[in-house]
Structure 1
């Protein structure tokens, strides 16, 4: 047998940018040799067992996933490149790390794939409240609001926070405001409590406004700057107020599109919480008050949710392993201040989603993953999402006779986003093969049905999100500064843009859905939404790409077909004959079938990807 170093690699594809073709390192050559050895070993085992039917040889991913004797050969995956992604921008001396898990990074990869042989550059994120602005505001004087204004801002903050999170206790905040009013508007003496109140005022002012004239007049920014300034001293004996304040500042930072700051603050809150032992169960003997114990438990799990969900937005690793956590999950609260505690079933469902988000970060987007073939990891996440959907209490489901409240819609959007994160790399693979077939450099029939099922699930989740967000826009519950809804809208819009190029029966309607989402983002941008301002730059790049591909002089030589079906629409898993309403879409039977179908063999698409292709995907 010839040496692996003398073997020729797979043929070069015109559908991929030239930068993806690189010389293999010596380490990769060793992996190939071990793969060949493994194939020979398994062949011998098959002969010894006298199998009556032939078993296909291990695919590229499966053979590369097998560990050698020293256990240091990790499975490759089709999500990330071999090397970390860094880019240079004028406003930063060191190169900026780009996490492939981020929505903006995926949008860039989409443009690069579809623009072949050109390779568009990543559009850097520069639309956020700057450090200089915050320092300037923190050094200026700020007057404590009047009693009426303070109560109004606190009420606005509490209503927005208590809808989805447990960070502060409502009774404690309102009692403190009443005490301050009786004391003649004098702020409390404890600096950390003052910082927490500033942070609450910032969030309250944010949700009480509908537009911002400029970044300097962004609602709540001055309050936020002063709250941040008071946290400069790291407490040696931190109290719950410290964790609460960090979480409030982290949440507000996202609205400023300061994603890195939000992750740092959430991570700091996580570390402070572990120093305080919030991740451990504390008994009645140490804290007799049941409400205080429940507050501690819920505060920990909110910190947990922030860490994992925020990390999933940029691709950062989680800080604390699930194995190190032994605190009880949120439980039903009783007592005189039961209104301080949101529905415990809702919080538990959010914790489970956050755990899945951490799994996706580690299992799907970690380039050093050692958990086996990519298909197996996708299968694990798919089963976890299915289990979450099956265990969701009836009052938290959207397919109910009564209209669901905002927190239920928000949680379903989060579920859809996790499904998109899991499946969209395969959607990009399917797009590549489709474009290669149109350009005459490949065959679309090469796409296995399992890969099509995954891509279809991604498109359906995006349509569901758009349906929900459109309904929120119509009924006025889509707040103009809400980072999460803005992110979900951009993520779904990018998927719809890809779907519009696939030549399916839904491609034309998905193109219209992309246009509609783009219009929403532009309106949010005009209102002063920092995140929408960033995402609009990517959406405009995608729009220009779609216009280029639809023109007769595109790289394929012919305009892209608008809606010619190229997939077998008779398959039940691809059936598209349902109405895309907000309620029925979320419980789309085809999407539920994808999650529940244990017979779907996702390992079939492992052989759909070779070594060169592994390094070209985001």
Structure 2
């Protein structure tokens, strides 16, 4: 029995298996040796806090829910929202856990919309319809590819020529266009219900077409995108999110995320329209998420459609965004989605927080350097509106990525216990200062661009996005003026933004009213903090108020350095770039050093992000 159980070793496969078994048996000893060597090599090196590899170390453990109405589900307040950032700022200034988030009340509710609804609403005259659509072509479709100009005009002319106003899909599309045309052209239409221009067209468009067709057309998807964009003028950003989500899922059912073969769609203009319509959905998804903090609705890995390309004929002379502009917008939207995912989510990441910050800034730098000349800001000629919009979104992306670090700097500045700095923390202090500077420079640049547009009369009085960008930059200006003595004049920029939002609010801009109310609360906290006794920032508040009175809050873009800083701000100008028209270039030795830091260094830097007495987790936004 014993001899019969022996395994012959002449077979090569059996010999190989035997060697593998011996190796596996010896593996624990090898592993033990490796661990011994590793422990000797790293005995004196502190291990990074495991929590820094999970998420933004300044996020709380749980999501923040606003108990808005006991009869309704609680509203989730996303960490990336600028209003949430304003609440964070007020909590730090007041050092009070009872500081409540301001609920969003300045929006048009469904009950109001139903009062405005008029099923018998007539189409405007042909002349007025032409004007309204021309306004949309000039204001909207130069930035986003939503409709084809020629075919849209042909459809309009045919509808009026044949009196065909009963097609629900066509009526929805044109009522959405009419709504946008009115809101971009009119100042206000006072009424008992809502004074936002175009709202009647919007309501009728929303009730004209079913939201869930079994066989959607491209016109249906176009209508959803147009209506989602108009929803922001009513400050109905949840509706906008739902509409673009519906457009995305309907786009998936007709395969917009794939490149359609020429045999299936011979017309090159229609093929390109499908491609560009998908990328408009993509840009809206990422852009909307960056405003409120929602996660992206589709992964880049699930998109197989080609990037926009040139089409023969007069396609690009048709009030349509040029190919290079669209590609730049798409690439920036991709980075924006990464910022929301990597900075504000609670996912587990293999990299530390600062490693993720570094990679995001490298991507933004590469995007900026790759911009073609016609998409850069020129100091010698007027800048097209779509280019300004692109740069504003770029600056917002920088602020989103870096402003948690700037707020951390404020936490440290307001801490009653000074934190001693030793040689081991020199690198982390410099890294945090570099990120803070990038945030401040982006905010200044946004402020200057919007103020320039405002003084030129180019800001849509009911526009959401300009108000949002101005509000975002104003919050940064407050923190900058408090944390860094050399930036005291940034408070004047805050005051200028405050006045512009006040003016937009007085004209009926619902989003501007919400943002203005938030800034008023911030200002009240500043006044309370200024009057508090024993605060080591008391003199700083007085100094800020005095110095800002003598400074200019209106600075033209051509007076800005490459980071948006001015000589009046007291911040040393960065070296001029090789191309003086590129106001977005990442320059400066500290930034270059930060971008060149090896990953191993960041592993040891992150734990000190939470060394403050008033660390972010202690200011949890959970208000159950």
The TM tier, using the shorter chain, reads: 0.7 to 0.9
The counterpart of 1:481, out of the listed 455, 458, 462, is 462
In structure 1, the partner of 2:559 is none
- Residue pairs, 1:151-300, within 5 angstroms: 151-183=130-162, 186-213=163-190, 216-300=194-278
In structure 2, the partner of 1:609 is 609
Contact between 2:256 and 2:278, CA under 8 Å: does it hold in 1? Answer: yes
Contact between 2:251 and 2:257, CA under 8 Å: does it hold in 1? Answer: yes
TM-score, normalising length: structure 2:
0.83
Cα distance, 1:354–1:469 mapped onto 2, change above 3 Å: same
Tell me by how many angstroms 1:368 deviates. Answer: 2.4
In structure 2, the partner of 1:457 is 438
- Residue pairs, 1:23-102, within 5 angstroms: 44-47=36-39, 56-60=45-49, 63-64=50-51, 75-90=54-69, 93-102=72-81
CA distance in 1, matches of 2:305, 2:593: 31
Cα distance, 1:91–1:510 mapped onto 2, change above 3 Å: farther
Contact between 1:503 and 1:562, CA under 8 Å: does it hold in 2? Answer: no
Deviations 1:301-360 (A, max 9, x none): 000000111112121111111111111101122224443332110000000111111111
Tell me by how many angstroms 1:300 deviates. Answer: 0.4
Cα distance, 1:383–1:416 mapped onto 2, change above 3 Å: same
CA distance in 2, matches of 1:115, 1:167: 45
In structure 2, the partner of 1:548 is 528
Tell me by how many angstroms 1:441 deviates. Answer: 5.0
Deviations 1:231-279 (A, max 9, x none): 3352111110111000000000011111111111011111110111000
Deviations 1:365-413 (A, max 9, x none): 1112334311111112111111111111111001464322111111000
1:432 equivalenced with 2:411 (yes/no)? yes
Cα distance, 1:498–1:339 mapped onto 2, change above 3 Å: same
In structure 2, the partner of 1:516 is 496
In structure 1, the partner of 2:572 is 577
In structure 2, the partner of 1:330 is 308
Q: Please identify, of 169-178 and 596-605, the stretch whose mean Cα deviation from structure 2 is larger.
A: 596-605
1:302 equivalenced with 2:280 (yes/no)? yes
CA distance in 2, matches of 1:79, 1:226: 45
Contact between 2:464 and 2:511, CA under 8 Å: does it hold in 1? Answer: yes
Matched residue of 2:59: which SS?
Answer: coil
Q: For structure 1, list consecutive stretches of 5 or more residues without a partner in the other structure.
A: 1-39, 66-73, 565-571
Cα distance, 1:135–1:453 mapped onto 2, change above 3 Å: same
1:535 equivalenced with 2:515 (yes/no)? yes
Q: For structure 2, list consecutive stretches of 5 or more residues without a partner in the other structure.
A: 1-31, 545-561
Q: Please identify, of 345-354 and 332-341, the stretch whose mean Cα deviation from structure 2 is larger.
A: 332-341
Cα distance, 1:459–1:45 mapped onto 2, change above 3 Å: farther
Tell me by how many angstroms 1:195 deviates. Answer: 0.3
Cα distance, 1:89–1:200 mapped onto 2, change above 3 Å: same
For the pair shown, which has the larger CA radius of gyration, 1 or 2? Answer: 2
How many residues end up aligned between the 2 structures? 553
In structure 2, the partner of 1:21 is none
Contact between 1:127 and 1:257, CA under 8 Å: does it hold in 2? Answer: yes
CA distance in 2, matches of 1:338, 1:426: 42
CA distance in 2, matches of 1:91, 1:129: 21
TM-score, normalising length: structure 1:
0.83
CA distance in 2, matches of 1:87, 1:524: 27
Contact between 2:352 and 2:602, CA under 8 Å: does it hold in 1? Answer: no
Contact between 1:78 and 1:374, CA under 8 Å: does it hold in 2? Answer: yes
Cα distance, 1:591–1:237 mapped onto 2, change above 3 Å: farther
Tell me by how many angstroms 1:140 deviates. Answer: 5.0
